[in-house]
């Protein structure tokens, strides 16, 4: 594996399909932030960090993870002229939680609170797994606050979930999450109950009907991996059909962990979408064409 930072983008010759590298070392280290801190919201302390400058993009990580899982995406966005904001979801990473049951609505409220503190009016939202649900719930409830949603690897009702099977790749990811929680959390002794509560939320929420999806008015791209371990492809296709003007993107040869397995492939799709909803004036809106011109 090699990673080189070229013109603000990670030029990646990286294939970590089995997550062996991720289990051993985690994702690439995040850059030095412009700003980081906590906000108090709904009886929790929510951690955030920011990178770069320009139109804002918020990255929302998956269940049991934390913002450091975006180590291959944050530099690509910041290097391309976007103010990139990472948030540790409630109870995850450095963020705390209280006794309230976890919900995507509650976590969407946390994101809005961070947006208010940072004066972000209408960012693009990039969500992975639970972070995707949080992003779409936020955009559905307050479309004036989201430029668009990149919805990767999640369901909007429980029928979209596959029966869980523990694979070696899933187990390696869980092992990394276990180590990171012990290092980052203010309550490392609560990991077992944390896993149970996050798992319960993912199995039972959200519960959007086709009617609910039809009301979503922001630009949305539904991104599904060819070998996702948790989400049915037919559910992703259903979401793309039910949400007005949504697009469907299939990532080949990767699974639920595509941002870590093949970051370059994921980043192309992500940055193409961000360029559509946050158009730039420098002539580099087509990320894939730009990268080809640099190779």
pLDDT digits (tens, 9 = 90+) for 171-195: 999 999 999 999 999 999 999 999 9
pLDDT digits (tens, 9 = 90+) for 21-64: 999 999 999 999 999 999 999 999 999 999 999 999 999 999 99
Find all residues with CB under 8 Å of 279, minimum gap 6, and list them.
285
Q: Is the pLDDT confidence value at 1 over 50?
A: no
pLDDT digits (tens, 9 = 90+) for 58-75: 999 999 999 999 999 999
Q: How far is CA 169 from CA 20, 72, 76, 245, in A?
A: 8, 19, 25, 34
Listed residue (90, 98, 102, 84) closest to 38, CA to CA = 90
CA–CA separation, 262 vs 14, rounded Å?
Answer: 6
Task: Please give the mean pLDDT across all residues of the chain.
Answer: 93
SS3 11: strand
CA–CA separation, 60 vs 86, rounded Å?
Answer: 7
CATH code: domain 2-294 is 3.40.50.1820
Q: What is the largest CA-CA distance in the chain?
A: 52
**pTM of model > 0.85:** yes
Q: β-pairing, 9-13 with 35-41?
A: unpaired
pLDDT digits (tens, 9 = 90+) for 199-230: 999 999 999 999 999 999 999 999 999 999 99
CA–CA separation, 272 vs 287, rounded Å?
Answer: 6
Element (H, E) at 261: helix 258-261
User: What residue segments make up the domains of the chain, in order of their start?
Assistant: 2-294
CA–CA separation, 213 vs 206, rounded Å?
Answer: 12
Listed residue (26, 74, 29, 3) closest to 173, CA to CA = 26
């Amino acid at each position: 594996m090699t990673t080189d930072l070229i013109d603000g983008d990670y030029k990646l010759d990286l294939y970590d399909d089995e997550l062996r590298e991720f289990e051993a070392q985690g994702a690439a280290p995040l850059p030095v932030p412009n700003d980081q801190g906590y906000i108090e919201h709904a009886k929790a302390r929510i951690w955030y960090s920011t990178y770069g400058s320009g139109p804002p993009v918020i990255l929302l990580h998956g269940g049991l993870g934390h913002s450091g899982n975006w180590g291959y995406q944050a530099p690509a966005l910041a290097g391309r002229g976007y103010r990139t904001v990472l948030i540790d979801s409630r109870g995850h990473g450095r963020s705390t939680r209280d006794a309230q049951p976890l919900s995507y609505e509650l976590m969407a409220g946390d994101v809005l609170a961070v947006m208010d503190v940072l004066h972000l009016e209408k960012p693009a939202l990039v969500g992975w797994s639970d972070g995707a649900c949080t992003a779409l719930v936020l955009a559905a409830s307050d479309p004036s606050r989201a430029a668009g949603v990149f919805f990767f690897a999640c369901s909007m009702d429980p029928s979209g979930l596959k029966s869980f099977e523990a694979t070696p790749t899933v187990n390696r990811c869980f092992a990394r999450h276990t180590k990171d929680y012990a290092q980052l959390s203010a309550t490392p002794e609560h990991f077992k109950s944390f896993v149970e509560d996050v798992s319960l939320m993912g199995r039972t929420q959200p519960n959007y009907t086709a009617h609910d999806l039809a009301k979503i008015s922001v630009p949305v791209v539904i991104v599904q991996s060819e070998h996702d371990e948790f989400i049915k492809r037919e559910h992703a296709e259903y979401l793309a059909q039910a949400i007005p003007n949504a697009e469907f993107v299939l990532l080949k040869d990767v699974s639920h962990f595509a941002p870590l397995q093949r970051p370059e492939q994921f980043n192309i799709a992500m940055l193409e979408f961000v360029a559509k909803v946050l158009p730039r004036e420098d002539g580099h809106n087509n990320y894939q064409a730009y990268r080809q011109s640099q190779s």
